[in-house]
Amino acid sequence: MCGIIGYIGDADAAGVLLEGLKRLEYRGYDSAGMAVLGRGGLDVRRRVGVLRHLEDEVRRAPLAGTAGIGHTRWATHGQPSEENAHPHRSGDVVVVHNGIIENYLDLKRRLQGEGFAFASETDAEVIAHLLARAMRDGRSLPQAFQAVVGELQGSYAIAGLCEREPDVLVAARSGCPLVAGHGGEASFLASDVTPLLAHTRRVQFLEDGDVAVVTRRGVTVTDADGRPVDRDTVAVDWTTETAEKGGYPHFMLKEIHEQPQAILDTLRGRTVVDDAGRVSFPDVTITPDEFRAAGQIWIVACGTSWHAGLVGKYLFEELLHKPVHVDIGSEFRYRKSMVRKGDIFLALSQSGETADTLDAAREARRLGARVLSVVNVVGSTMARESDGVLYTRCGLEISVASTKAFTGQLVALHLLALHIGRVHGILKERAIREWLDQLRQLPGHVEDVIKRDGELLAVAKRFYQKNNFLYLGRWINYPIALEGALKLKEISYIHAEGYAAGEMKHGPIALVDEDVPVVVLAPQDRLYRKTVSNLMEVKTRKAPVIAFTSEGELDLEDVADCVFRIPDAVPPLLAPVPLTVALQLLAYHIGVLRGIDVDRPRNLAKSVTVE
Ligand code: G6P
């Protein structure tokens, strides 16, 4: 994630930037920094950790000036450290960036070849050097900036400043949010509207491809070629709290809606296709030989992440024809461990701090396994202690109930399965490329589910007063039944159980009556008919049935009480992703209808750092 801010006016810039960064701190707290332009030139301050550290620094030695840019970081490239903190500087130019520059390695090599020295491991630093280089031939800051934007691939919101041109800020957006505002004799930039509300309620939401030149007199927006673009000025009447949630009533709903982007970011820049069409995964640092030598694969996690691990088992066994052990962190720790030297041990965790998973990974390492963690929080303990890390790039997850981190984990596990399949020679290049194409279509399928949220709200309204739910799924959707039930439990306090649909007749069917809604996951796959038989078994016992199926399957219409469809184009191994999103929305609506504070459910914590 990351938050960026910019100010140019007559007031003390550092004060405005700090106040603004406080509103943006939810976007990342790995480090914070600012650059202020005053009579003495640029003054850049950066501090690792929460914003308070930067605030203390500014109080200790105030910065003087009336123009500046600021940043709060959620690390993606490079550990949280002062060198990796923004703003990044090159000569008399400074920039802040939110997003991922996919071609940064190419750009970095070229710039290094020309003599530019890099001070950080970030992708963002290339932007500062490119801008400094583009200004060498006498181009103005806006002209140079426009040229630089043309060289960038990936996602970004950028703000920049140059000592030589103190009366202008430049900014651009592609795939990351950016808002501009003007009020009195001052103009503002920010990742969301919250920092602007104290100064102006009249804002412009920039769109992808927009480049902005910001002065004390106002904001001029152009496209990447410098042609003027008309962006409406909108009057915002949000409160600060509504604005932090991006206009959504809860962080959970915001994070559910962020999934298409989170999936895209998790996929982006991960795969390299060389000239011969070979695909490789540079982030996975465990060597092909180590993968080939591994006797067993282990996956250990807790809570929602454990459900992702269970999906991983089906996926790996299906794609790699390899047995996989999946365990809950707190169980693994105290069992007689069967981990052997050279095994591959995957630790899945959103936070990278869950005590039970962390300890399991340490134990596996002690026994000689190669530990690869799949984590969302960069620089977390698990990431630091692992032999390799595969980051899900889902951005900060605030709501206690995990949503986007889970779907991000599923996507990361697909990438890993493709990688292992390649090094084992099980998956051919062509199959991998086709699979990657399918993965790239996932954000669109998720978008499709989100657009039909109204249907899920209608289902929620029908059943939210029930006290027990059953969730049934088979094969790779069995863990999704577990996850759907967990989500409902967590945020509605309704008793819900997830079951393997075929196992229901061995016990849970005794619970079924007209008062127990049964959620059945029956997308188009080789077990569809069998799942429908299980659905009929509960229907016969009068249970209201809520079926989740694919567009082409029409025979559930007459038997199920409610039917929600995911797109037909979703292949069976990817169905867990859109199905999960639909179940998240269902749980969300039920929780809200029951009056629960869904972002902060009772007794739960976002990150459980105790045993
Ligand atoms: C807590 C959270 C869950 C999460 C679990 C594992 O229980 O409330 O949402 O799934 O921890 O967290 P991790 O950060 O390791 O994925």
The pLDDT value given to residue 535: 93
The pLDDT value given to residue 558: 86
Expressed in angstroms and rounded, the spacing between residue 380 Cα and the centre of ligand 1 is 14
pLDDT, tens digit, 9 for 90 and up, residues 297-317: 999 999 999 999 999 999 999
579 is written with which tokens? 């199905």
In this structure, the residue with its CA closest to atom 2 of ligand 1 is 606
Q: Per-residue pLDDT for 172 more than 90?
A: yes
Write down how long the chain is.
611
Q: Give the rounded percent of residues in the chain with a pLDDT score beyond 70.
A: 98
If one compares 118 and 283, the residue with the highest pLDDT of the two is 118
Q: Per-residue pLDDT for 542 more than 90?
A: yes
Q: Per-residue pLDDT for 245 more than 80?
A: yes
Among the listed residues 258, 159, 239, the one whose alpha carbon sits nearest the alpha carbon of residue 193 = 239
The pLDDT value given to residue 275: 67
The pLDDT value given to residue 605: 80
Neighbours of 288 (CB within 10 A): 15
Cα 600 from Cα 594, distance rounded (Å): 14
Q: Per-residue pLDDT for 1 more than 70?
A: no
Mutate to test the pocket of ligand 1, among 299, 354, 611 (most ligand atoms within 8 A of CB): 354
Listed in sequence order, the DSSP H helices in 352-475 are 355-366, 381-385, 404-423, 429-451, 453-463
Q: What separation in angstroms does the CA of 71 have from each of 33, 122, 183, 219, 513? A: 5, 14, 22, 20, 55
Q: List beta partners, residue 520.
A: 472, 547
Residue 537 backbone dihedrals phi, psi, to 5 degrees: -60, -40
Question: Are 3-243 and 453-593 the same fold in CATH?
Answer: no
Expressed in angstroms and rounded, the spacing between residue 415 Cα and the centre of ligand 1 is 22
Cα 289 from Cα 279, distance rounded (Å): 17
Rounded mean pLDDT of 259-288? 80
Is 108 a known active-site residue?
no
> What's the count of helices (H) and strands (E) in the chain, helices before strands?
19, 26
Buried b (16+ CB within 10 A) or exposed e, 516-538: bbbbbbbbbbebbeebbebbebb
> Domain locations in the chain?
3-243, 251-447, 453-593
Question: What one-character DSSP code corresponds to residue 446?
Answer: H
Cα 564 from Cα 460, distance rounded (Å): 12
CATH T-level fold of 453-593: Rossmann fold (3.40.50)
Contacts with 60 (C-beta within 8 Å, 6 or more apart), sequence order: none
If one compares 245 and 530, the residue with the highest pLDDT of the two is 530
Q: Is any ligand 1 atom within 6 A of the Cβ of residue 381?
A: no
CA quadruple 20, 266, 327, 577: dihedral positive or negative?
positive
Q: Is any ligand 1 atom within 6 A of the Cβ of residue 84?
A: no
Q: Give the rounded percent of residues in the chain with a pLDDT score beyond 90.
A: 74
The pLDDT value given to residue 398: 86
Contacts with 170 (C-beta within 8 Å, 6 or more apart), sequence order: 141, 142, 145, 158, 159, 160, 161, 211, 212, 213, 214
Which position has the token pair 């990447």?
A: 224
Residue 601 backbone dihedrals phi, psi, to 5 degrees: -65, 150
The pLDDT value given to residue 42: 97
Expressed in angstroms and rounded, the spacing between residue 605 Cα and the centre of ligand 1 is 8
Contacts with 558 (C-beta within 8 Å, 6 or more apart), sequence order: none
CA quadruple 568, 574, 580, 585: dihedral positive or negative?
negative
174 is written with which tokens? 């592609």
Helix axes 576-593, 429-451, angle to 10 degrees: 20
Contact call for residues 477 and 579 (beta carbons, < 8 A):
yes
Q: Is any ligand 1 atom within 6 A of the Cβ of residue 259?
A: no
Contacts with 172 (C-beta within 8 Å, 6 or more apart), sequence order: 145, 149, 156, 157, 158, 178, 210, 211, 212, 224
Which of 196-200, 403-407, 469-473, 521-525 shows the lowest per-residue confidence on average (mean pLDDT)? 196-200
Contact call for residues 5 and 70 (beta carbons, < 8 A):
yes
Contact call for residues 31 and 84 (beta carbons, < 8 A):
yes
Neighbours of 609 (CB within 10 A): 12
What is the Cβ-side half-sphere exposure of residue 435, based on CA atoms within 13 angstroms? 24
301 is written with which tokens? 């996690």
Rounded mean pLDDT of 93-114? 95
Q: Is any ligand 1 atom within 6 A of the Cβ of residue 600?
A: no
Among the listed residues 390, 292, 291, the one whose alpha carbon sits nearest the alpha carbon of residue 349 = 390
The pLDDT value given to residue 403: 98
Classify residue 295 by burial, with Cβ atoms within 10 Å: 0-12, 13-18, 19+. exposed
The pLDDT value given to residue 283: 72
Rounded mean pLDDT of 139-161? 95
Rounded mean pLDDT of 43-55? 94
Q: Is any ligand 1 atom within 6 A of the Cβ of residue 50?
A: no
In this structure, the strands spanning 279-280 and 272-273 are antiparallel
The pLDDT value given to residue 277: 64
Domain 251-447, classified CATH 3.30.565.10, yes or no: no
Q: Is any ligand 1 atom within 6 A of the Cβ of residue 350?
A: yes
Q: Is any ligand 1 atom within 6 A of the Cβ of residue 349?
A: yes
64 is written with which tokens? 């003087």
The pLDDT value given to residue 169: 98
If one compares 149 and 197, the residue with the highest pLDDT of the two is 149
Considering the candidates 22, 466, 530, 606, report the single residue annotated as catalytic: 606
pLDDT-derived band of residue 611, with 50, 70 and 90 as boundaries? low
In this structure, the strands spanning 297-301 and 344-349 are parallel
Expressed in angstroms and rounded, the spacing between residue 400 Cα and the centre of ligand 1 is 8
Q: What is the DSSP string of 9-49?
A: SSS-HHHHHHHHHHHHGGG--SEEEEEEEETTEEEEEEEES
Q: What separation in angstroms does the CA of 308 have from each of 255, 301, 322? A: 17, 8, 17
pLDDT-derived band of residue 177, with 50, 70 and 90 as boundaries? confident
What is the Cβ-side half-sphere exposure of residue 66, based on CA atoms within 13 angstroms? 11
Classify residue 555 by burial, with Cβ atoms within 10 Å: 0-12, 13-18, 19+. exposed
484 is written with which tokens? 């759907």
Cα 482 from Cα 410, distance rounded (Å): 15
Q: List beta partners, residue 390.
A: 374
Contacts with 369 (C-beta within 8 Å, 6 or more apart), sequence order: 298, 339, 340, 341, 342, 343, 344, 345
Q: Per-residue pLDDT for 187 more than 90?
A: yes
Q: For the chain, how big is the Rg over CA atoms in Å? A: 25
Contacts with 464 (C-beta within 8 Å, 6 or more apart), sequence order: 492, 589, 590, 593, 594
Expressed in angstroms and rounded, the spacing between residue 88 Cα and the centre of ligand 1 is 34
Which position has the token pair 């206009």?
A: 247
Considering the candidates 2, 176, 302, 562, report the single residue annotated as catalytic: 2
Is 2 a known active-site residue?
yes
Q: Per-residue pLDDT for 588 more than 70?
A: yes
**CATH architecture classification, 3-243:** 4-Layer Sandwich (3.60)
- Taking the CA of residue 304 as reference, the ligand 1 atom at the shortest distance is 10
Q: Is any ligand 1 atom within 6 A of the Cβ of residue 609?
A: no
pLDDT, tens digit, 9 for 90 and up, residues 376-434: 877 678 988 899 989 898 887 889 999 999 999 999 999 999 999 988 999 998 999 89
Cα 16 from Cα 344, distance rounded (Å): 49
The pLDDT value given to residue 272: 73
Mean pLDDT of the chain: 92
Question: What one-character DSSP code corresponds to residue 565?
Answer: E
pLDDT-derived band of residue 279, with 50, 70 and 90 as boundaries? confident
